[in-house]
Amino acid sequence: MSRDLSGAREVLDGDDVARALTRIAHEVVERNKGAADLVLLGIPKRGVPLAYRLAERISAVEGTEVPVGALDVTMYRDDLRLRPARALEHTDIPPGGIDDRIVVLVDDVLFSGRTIRAALTALEDIGRPRAVRLVVLVDRGHRQLPIRADHVGKNIPTSLVESVKVRLAETDGHDGVLLDKPAPQTTEVLP
């Protein structure tokens, strides 16, 4: 696979994304011994559509509907003062809440671990789950915190200067994962 798309290299195409989500759905069901007590919470932006897709796949396997919601972690981030202001996203906790449930956080890319740390802190304000698990489509490494995903679509080793761009039909019109390397810096010699 691995096509070159204007400087970025495609490391997962739409079929790869679909297969990864199907495999993850089966892993979640197997680990949980069914779909009972599961709640999927996507982390905006791309974690939310991924959570809905996982819920559809789990429902198809188990024959039962899995509650899905969204968890905005913006105000729980430890880097708010280091980054430009950003708009708050929507938090939507399914009816029945998260108390004594198995909460599966869903995100597109796991990098430093800081977004997931913020999500764990946000959950404290919402309720007390029995357990929290993490699903990510891509794990690119370079953790700054002791956080790891329970279920990973693809491990993609990266350098710190590379970026991973997840594209989803719901937000971008098509599915895929791109690995982008910045253009080499050239220095112009003045006469």
Tokens, residue 167: 């594209």
Dihedral, CA of residue 107, residue 108, residue 114 and residue 115, to nearest 10? -50
- What percentage of the chain has pLDDT greater than the value 70? 91
The answer to whether the predicted template modeling score (pTM) of the entire model surpasses 0.75 is: yes
pLDDT at 46 over 60: yes
pLDDT class for 87, splitting at 50, 70, 90? confident
- Give the three-class secondary structure for 83: coil
pLDDT on residue 3 = 52
d(C-alpha 32, C-alpha 10), whole Å:
33
Mean pLDDT within 5-11: 81
CATH topology of domain 4-180: Rossmann fold (3.40.50)
Tell me how far apart the alpha carbons of residues 140 and 92 are, in angstroms, rounded to a whole number: 28
Whether 21 has a pLDDT exceeding 90, the answer reads: yes
Tens-place pLDDT, residues 28-40: 999 999 999 999 9
pLDDT at residue 7 is higher than 90? no
- Asked which of 35-44, 64-73, 157-166, 175-184 is least confident by mean pLDDT, the reply is 175-184
- The pLDDT of residue 108: 98
Secondary structure of residue 15 in the 3-state scheme: helix
pLDDT at 109: 98
Region 149-178: what's the mean pLDDT? 97
| pLDDT grade for 186, boundaries at 50, 70 and 90 | low
Average pLDDT on 3-26 reads 89
Mean pLDDT computed over every residue of the chain = 92
Residue 85 has pLDDT above 90, yes or no: no
All structural domains of the chain with their residue ranges: 4-180
Q: How many CB atoms lie within 10 A of CB 7?
A: 10
